[in-house]
Amino acid sequence: MTLSALDAAGTFSGSYHTAVAVTNKQIVVSPLQGAQQHTSGKGQPTFGFTVQWQFADSTTAFVGQCFMDRRGKETLETMWLLREEVTSRRDSWKATRVGTSIFTRIK
């Protein structure tokens, strides 16, 4: 995942390159859009972002919090909800998946 700097409103954009997918299509980098709460001085802000997968008929929404340890290492802990397109409302039950992810900064 590559993120832009936050703008004055707390929004950001970027790209996401996953290594995991339930598809036979080639995995490609996909765009993301998000927002972060303005920090309250504690330095552990919450945020959310969505990824529009370019190789699948699905979108994932992530929500989480950024944690900073004593050495300044950032870790993003998220929960995500993936919704894929189905052909009918009757199949809606199988269109959603939920999970968690942890991201650490690599410079």
Residues 71 and 84: beta-carbon distance below 8 Å: no
The set of residues, in sequence order, having a beta carbon less than 8 Å from that of 15 and lying 6+ positions away, is: 1, 2, 29, 30, 31, 32
pLDDT of residue 40: 66
Mean pLDDT, consecutive 10-residue stretches, the chain (107 aa), reads 90 89 81 87 87 93 92 91 94 93 79
Number of domains in the chain: 1
pTM: 0.85
pLDDT of residue 48: 97
Rounded distance, CA 85 to CA 76, Å?
28
Q: Please give the residue range of the domain that contains residue 59.
A: 2-104
* CATH number of the CATH domain containing 54: 2.40.128.30
